[in-house]
Structure 1
Amino acid sequence: MSGPGVVSSFQKKGKTKVVSIPGTRPSIHNSQLLLSCGIPSLDYLIGGGLPVGSIILIEQDRYDVYSKLFLKYFLAEGVMNNHMLTLASLDVPPQAITSDLPAPTDTEPEEVSAASKQMTIAWRYQSKTSQPKTSVGNRFGHNYDLTKSMGTELTSNIDMALWDGSELEEGRGMLKNKNYWSLLQVIKKRIESSNLATSSNKAKTNVLRLGLHSVGSPLWGSEFGYQEKDHKWQSLTTFLFMLRALVRTSFSVCMVTVPAHLFTDPALLLRLQALADFVVRLESFQGSEKETNPVFKDYHGLFHIVKLAAINSLVPPILDSTDWVFKLKRRKLTIERLHLPPELSETVNRNQEDPLNKPIGLSCIGGNLPKNLDF
């Protein structure tokens, strides 16, 4: 019904105002605020970046070599954007991780000269454009050089909190573990003191990056002694559940690494994967049979994408491939598509004059037809 004095309840929806924070950008799909993980190829795989309020779970490689690099990239990107940082670790001193962050560089670390790009197969192919690289990436974030460490002049001005379990509080409620409870209290105080909670009416000018290293290892509690046998793991799952509640209701992102190879209970990994938004698994070739396999000679491990989140959307990002690998070059870590070499059988090198493999000729062009044909 329309007419004078009647006000329609339908209103045109205006554009959503996106918060502008240094080091972030809105998603082109749903305007979700994204942060870079520090590795452009990883940003591409998870949909353009890590959404604010989400948790990415990394299942460590067996020797915790490459998963630690992922964490260093994540923290280094926070330093370059002046984000608030919180690093927690009981297996390695947090100071040892922050003192070895990769140094930023203005150019690609693996950049090659134009002279080395010339093709040497044939001179007529030199005018052809080169094929696109197998690595995927977008220009979001900074470039880093693993051969150099970030100077203290960059990290000294960052609001960074390091937690090593030296100050513990008694657990409460369902979370009896002192380590997990104390870490949660540190994170909660950081969020409240900086007004990063979504319930706060103050304008948001920064985000909090949480880096939790090797959570669930034997140093975090006594669960390996008795709770693993009973398939409980109550403290670890409760901690991740409460951590997700803190992250989801604040302007913060979290990267958690867990030693999945130490968990003998398969149900535990399923629960952890359900509590995280993004889950990736690193399968290093170090110490395995694949290390000497010629198929994987150019790579250092398989990169398994276990779970992708659908935040503010109906479906998660759709990837154009399912097989991914990671490669540690001299100066950087990249994630690429797995390209297997062509499979050449022994018959390829057979003599061309073999009468059994001669093509059947046609009499009209001078070919000789075989006398006996087998059907």
Structure 2
Amino acid sequence: MSFRKRNAVISTSAATPTVGKLTNAQIPGVRPSPYDSRPTISTGTPSLDSLMAGHAGLPLGTSLLVQEHGTTDFAGILVKYYAAEGLVQGHQVHVLGLHEGWKNELPGIATPSSSRKDTTASSGDKMKIAWRYETLGAASASRERNTTVHQSVAGASSAPIFCYPFDLSKKLSSGDVKGQIKFHPSMSSPSFKPPAKALQSPFKLFIKDLRLKLANSAPDLVHRVIVPGLLLPTAYSGSSCRPEEVLQFMHALRALLREYAARLTALITLPVTLYPRSTGLTRWMEILSDGVLELIPLQSNAIHAPPPTSKSDPKSEEQTQGLLKVHSLPVFHEKGGGSSESYASREDQAFSLSRSKGLVIRPFSLPPVGEEEEEKKKQDAGKSMDF
């Protein structure tokens, strides 16, 4: 009979070294959701990340459909930020329907000095009347601070950056690009000879190539799908605009998102002026998408003004240029989860285009009474002094 001393640790065999697996937190540009810890990525627009049902980003394995009215291109700004964020983080970007020169139009990373000046200038402007307006501005500013992770001083923190600050007046340099981007044409090159056989749909070719890339790429590589201006007559032929072609493409893309739920996201823009939400095709596209946003630009002089430059007025950049409606959000309505508070406050949302912040989304509020009249009086006084 063997005796064993009490309170003695039982010795075990030599522990074999375990190979550490790559977690979502170690993948560049991916972090767990603060709500339910599901992996999320940034869309490149901090205010848009804050609308994602409490996840502070776009969850992997989901798609976002952005609808826009009129002839403006605010949705194109969101697409550029989405692509630039993916290239800087080292992701694989797949673009359908655009040319390779579009890569030169992506915004560059903002310098810490310019971003600090903009924040101090915006914080220094205070509202003149009504304490409720001032608290509203403070709430929106605090929400942007909580959802944005910027590294203002180089080397100050070793934590990875989730969302980089971009500047529309700059171009993305090749030194900042860590990922790859691939363009897929949506129309065949014109030729005088009639085709011997029917050409394959660009949607099917895109899905086929995307499936091969996902199957042959590393398991820790994140892929971003971009489909800007879906069904535009200038980018898609008449045969590609048939409902069966589009819906089959949406079904196939949704299947890839579910199959590679930890590696793939998609952002699609649609001109609602050509394809209203009352049509059956658009409604089915909304059903096959995880999130649906609608941009309604306001008919003002700010929309038709030239793009913001480096010397633009910060007050003019904060002017409301359109309204935003949230029809559905990723993960909130299908798999459960999401914050009901952020989903309930979706009714009154507005956006404005800023040089240093891009498309800024904030709660919509009317300007204080009397402010517009004072500005008109100042303009009239200045005109009367001119000879």
Instruction: Compute the TM-score of the two structures, normalised by the length of structure 1.
Output: 0.69
- 1:81-160 pair list within 5 angstroms: 81-90=89-98, 93-96=99-102, 98-107=103-112, 108=115, 111-113=118-120, 117=124, 132=138, 134-135=140-141, 136-137=143-144, 138-140=147-149, 141-155=163-177, 157-160=178-181
In the alignment, structure 2 segments of 5+ residues that lack a partner are 1-21, 150-162, 190-198, 305-317, 371-387
1:53–1:118 Cα change, 3 Å: closer
The AA in structure 2 aligned to 1:79 is L
Question: Is the 2:90–2:179 Cα contact (8 Å) retained in structure 1?
Answer: yes
Match of 2:224 in 1: 209
Within the candidate set 46, 49, 54, 2:57 is matched to 49
Matches within 5 A, 1:310-321: 310=331, 313-318=335-340, 319=342, 321=345
The aligned counterpart of 2:82 is 74
1:65 aligns with 2:88: no
> CA-to-partner distance for each residue in 1:314-369, whole Å, 9 max, x for gaps?
2543225221011012333200110113568xxxxxxxxxxxxxxxxxxxxxxxxx
User: By how many angstroms is 1:222 displaced?
Assistant: 1.6
Distance change >3 Å, CA 194–CA 342, structure 1 → 2: same
Secondary structure of the equivalent of 2:138?
A: coil
Structure 1 pair 183/130, CA: closer, same or farther in 2 (3 Å)? closer
Question: Compared with structure 1, are the counterparts of its residues 238 and 105 closer, same or farther at alpha carbon in structure 2 (3 Å cutoff)?
Answer: same
> What is aligned with 1:331?
356
Q: In 2, are the aligned partners of 1:57 and 1:279 still within 8 Å (CA)?
A: yes
Residue 30 of structure 1, CA deviation = 1.7
What is the number of residues matched between the two proteins?
A: 296
Say which one has the larger Rg.
1
- Tell me the SS of whatever aligns to 2:268: strand
Give the aligned CA root-mean-square deviation in angstroms. 3.6
| Alpha-carbon distance in 2 for matches of 1:44, 1:267 | 30
1:284 to 297, 301, 305: 297
**Bigger fraction of residues in helix:** 2
**Of 78-87 and 65-74, the range deviating more from structure 2:** 78-87
**Secondary structure, counterpart of 1:246 in structure 2:** helix
- State the SS of the aligned residue for 1:220: coil
Q: 1:1-375 alignment to 2 at 5 Å?
A: 18-20=23-25, 21-47=27-53, 48-90=56-98, 93-96=99-102, 98-107=103-112, 108=115, 111-113=118-120, 117=124, 132=138, 134-135=140-141, 136-137=143-144, 138-140=147-149, 141-155=163-177, 157-165=178-186, 178-195=201-218, 204-218=219-233, 219-222=235-238, 227=242, 233-250=243-260, 251-264=263-276, 266-286=279-299, 298-310=319-331, 313-318=335-340, 319=342, 321=345, 322-332=347-357, 333-341=359-367
In the aligned structure 2, how far is the partner of 1:38 from the partner of 1:239? 25
Q: What is the CA distance between 1:309 and its match in structure 2?
A: 2.5
- The residue aligned with 1:360 is none
What is the distance in 1 between the residues matched to 2:257 and 2:331? 16
Q: Structure 1's 330 and 241: CA in aligned 2 closer, same or farther, altered over 3 A? A: same
Q: Offset at 1:160?
A: 1.8
Q: Percent identity?
A: 23
Structure 1 portions without partners, runs of 5+: 1-16, 169-175, 196-203, 228-232, 292-296, 345-375
CA contact (8 A) 1:323 1:338 kept: yes
